[in-house]
Amino acid sequence: MPATPRPVLLDCDPGTDDAVALWLALAAPGIDLQLVTVAGGNVGLERTLPNARAVLGLAGAGVPVVAGADRPLVGRFRSETRVHGMDGLGGVTLPEGPPATPGLAADAIRARLRAAAAESVTLVGLGPATNLALALAAEPDLAGRVAEIVLMTGAVGEGNWSSAAEFNAAMDPEALAILLACGRPVTLATLDLTAQALVTPARVAALRAVSGGGRCLAAAVEILAAIPPSRRFEHRGVPLHDPCAVMWLVAPELFTHRAVTASVVLDGADRGRTRIDRWGRDGAPANARLLEGLDAEGFFAALGMMLKELK
């Protein structure tokens, strides 16, 4: 794990797996979580914002939470309640969290970047990339303050929103295109990677058995237990998408990766599909790091050990 915690601005759309990722970001010793911004995504902004507030409130965290985009840059908003439930947290009720910080997410991101040193801040995106893209599109020079952009988005193979597209990429492909073209290092945790972090009944039971945990670990276990098993995995379990992006920051040894050229399709039947050139066949320079392999047992062990530190 990094010796010095890295400053992190985290954009999300809670969302069951976002909730676990937020608790992981708060618990991980390698992360200094400075700002949480929220978009509509898994459910509408009217739910994702109170969900983010509740998740941070349960942990007793004083991190500012700022509301952002309730729709993509182009087109209309669509949610994914089949996985996350109408409330976004699989029906698990958390106490109401502290009020949101006034303002707009893109403005809050820009303010934090303006105050930062060059290449010092890590941006983490766990939902549609709208808020991050708005910030960097409005003030492109601020990209120079960004050390790395880590996104849970895209797929090398089959999508989960359509046969071609992963949900986050499909919800705002124009925003994703802006981040891929911003000139800063981008790390992608795609569906192909997160499929290796499969939440099974046995893994839920192992997390439930972790001793010394507090209410955040208990709530995370209840949320994971509430997510319906995926038909894509023959109902054996469900991928734990968003925590993979956060875990990369603190335990990169759990991952294998390679440099790739990544782009996103903006129109036609394949809108939202990510095109990942792993072998340089297109002749374009690499613009992203693709996380390819995951030590799943190590991942879930680290997740339990870190979440138990939140009381």
The pLDDT of residue 227 is 87
Which residues does 174 contact at the CB level (< 8 Å), separation at least 6? 72, 73, 74, 133, 266
Q: Is residue 138 part of a domain?
A: yes
pLDDT digits (tens, 9 = 90+) for 197-214: 999 999 999 999 998 889
pLDDT at residue 305 in the model? 96
pLDDT in tens, 23-67: 999 999 999 999 999 999 888 999 999 999 999 999 999 999 999
Q: Give me the pLDDT at residue 298, please.
A: 98
How many residues are given for the chain? 311
Query: With 80 as the cut, is the pLDDT of residue 163 above it?
Result: yes
What pLDDT does 192 receive? 97
Residues 94-135: pLDDT tens digits? 999 999 999 999 999 999 999 999 999 999 999 999 999 999
Residue 286 has pLDDT above 90, yes or no: yes
The catalytic residue among 84, 235, 241, 257 is 241
219-267 pLDDT tens trace: 999 999 998 888 888 888 899 999 999 999 999 999 999 999 999 999 9
Q: Helix and strand tally (H, E) in the chain?
A: 12, 11
pLDDT at 171 over 90: yes
Q: Number of folded domains in the chain?
A: 1
122-to-93, 216, 290 alpha-carbon distances in Å: 31, 24, 17
**pLDDT of the residue at 84:** 64
Q: Provide the domain limits for residue 174.
A: 6-307
Give the per-residue pLDDT at 3: 66
Side chain identity, residue 302: A
pLDDT of residue 90: 83
Residue 261 lies inside a defined structural domain of this protein = yes
* pLDDT above 60 (res 2): no
Residue 196: exposure state from Cβ atoms within 10 A (0-12, 13-18, ≥19): middle
Tell me, yes or no, whether 24 lies in a domain.
yes
CATH number at residue 225: 3.90.245.10
User: Which CA distances in Å does 113 have to 10, 166, 237?
Assistant: 13, 29, 39
Question: Each residue of 8-34: pLDDT tens digit?
Answer: 999 999 989 999 999 999 999 999 999
84: annotated active-site residue: no
**Is residue 81 in a domain?**
yes
Q: Reply yes or no on whether the pLDDT at 4 is more than 70.
A: yes
Domain membership flag for residue 45: yes
**The pTM is what?**
0.96
Decide if 149 is inside a domain: yes
Give a yes or no: residue 178 inside a domain: yes
Determine, yes or no, domain membership for 1. no
| CB atoms inside a 10 Å sphere around CB 215 | 14
- Backbone torsions φ then ψ of 259, nearest 5 degrees: -80, 140
Q: Specify whether the CB–CB gap between 166 and 83 falls below 8 A.
A: no
Q: What is the pLDDT of residues 69-87, one digit of tens each?
A: 999 999 988 877 666 667 7
